[in-house]
């Protein structure tokens, strides 16, 4: 069923309104990724010699920031940095993506009051801190159990992204308390959807589209599960 939610998200690529959101969202994702890659290189530069090799690229910090080599470094770094980028993305663009999905697939729903940007950004930044801390622990586990490093990365980040995306989508309709209850009620489905989202986030170029498609998929997931819940209690 989660794959059907993702298929619906892909099917909306022909929708002009969704395409506009997708293009702007991808642009924002690139900006966030470039910013985080720059911070990453700055941190490496602060603790290493002036020149080192990363993914086959010679990094000379300031020179690379102003050259095409930075694009290559960014693509390599995106394998590791797109998960926190996807987390930050929700604070800036979730409302627009979810609204485009609901306008096409759920037009019978009443309009919702837009969550203040400051609130969504604050929640995303707070969750970003949790994401970084948990991933630090996951990296230690991955080094200990090296053959399982990739599955550990996907499963851990799938749980975190599923929790955040489901919570943020649900909060638009149910408020914070209602969203907490819905997320706990559907935690397994959110975790699985988040894991399916975390996997393509580690594929360069494809991962640029995943934050937008992820929000769209979680919007479908939320509405489907809420309707099932209402049908069971009716």
How far apart, in Å, are the Cα atoms of 156 and each of 5, 76, 153, 175?
22, 21, 6, 26
pLDDT at residue 79 tops 90 = no
Domain range list for the chain: 2-233
75 by Cβ neighbours in 10 Å (0-12 / 13-18 / 19+) ranks as: middle
Q: What is the pLDDT of residues 162-176, one digit of tens each?
A: 999 999 999 999 998
Give residue 178's pLDDT. 94
CA distance 217 to 180: 19
Percentage of residues in the chain with pLDDT exceeding 90? 34
pLDDT at residue 67 tops 50 = yes
Place of tokens 């979810």: 98
Query: Is residue 109 left, alpha or beta, with left meaning phi > 0 and alpha meaning psi from -120 to 50?
Result: beta
Residue 52: strand, helix, or coil: strand
Average pLDDT of the chain, as a whole number: 82
Give residue 177's pLDDT. 92
Give residue 48's pLDDT. 56
User: Stretch 52-60: mean pLDDT, rounded?
Assistant: 55
């Amino acid at each position: 069923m989660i794959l059907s939610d993702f298929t619906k998200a892909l099917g909306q690529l022909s929708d002009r309104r969704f395409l506009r959101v997708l293009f702007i969202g991808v642009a924002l994702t690139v900006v966030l990724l470039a910013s985080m890659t720059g911070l990453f290189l700055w941190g490496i530069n602060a603790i290493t010699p002036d020149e080192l090799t990363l993914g086959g690229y010679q990094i000379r910090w300031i020179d690379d920031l102003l050259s095409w080599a930075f694009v290559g470094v960014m693509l390599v770094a995106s394998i590791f940095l797109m998960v926190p980028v996807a987390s930050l993305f929700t604070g800036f663009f979730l409302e627009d993506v979810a609204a485009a999905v609901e306008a096409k697939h759920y037009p019978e729903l009443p309009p919702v009051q837009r969550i203040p940007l400051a609130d969504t950004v604050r929640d995303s930044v707070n969750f970003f801190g949790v994401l970084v801390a948990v991933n630090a622990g996951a990296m230690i586990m991955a080094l200990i159990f090296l053959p399982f490093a990739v599955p550990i990365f996907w499963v851990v980040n799938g749980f975190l992204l599923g929790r955040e995306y489901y919570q943020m989508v649900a909060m638009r309709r149910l408020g914070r308390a209602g969203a907490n209850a819905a997320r706990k009620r559907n935690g397994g489905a959110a975790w699985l959807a988040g894991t399916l989202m975390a996997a393509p986030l580690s594929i360069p170029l494809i991962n640029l589209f995943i934050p937008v498609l992820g929000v769209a998929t979680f919007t479908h997931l939320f509405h489907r599960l809420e309707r099932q819940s209402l049908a069971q209690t009716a």
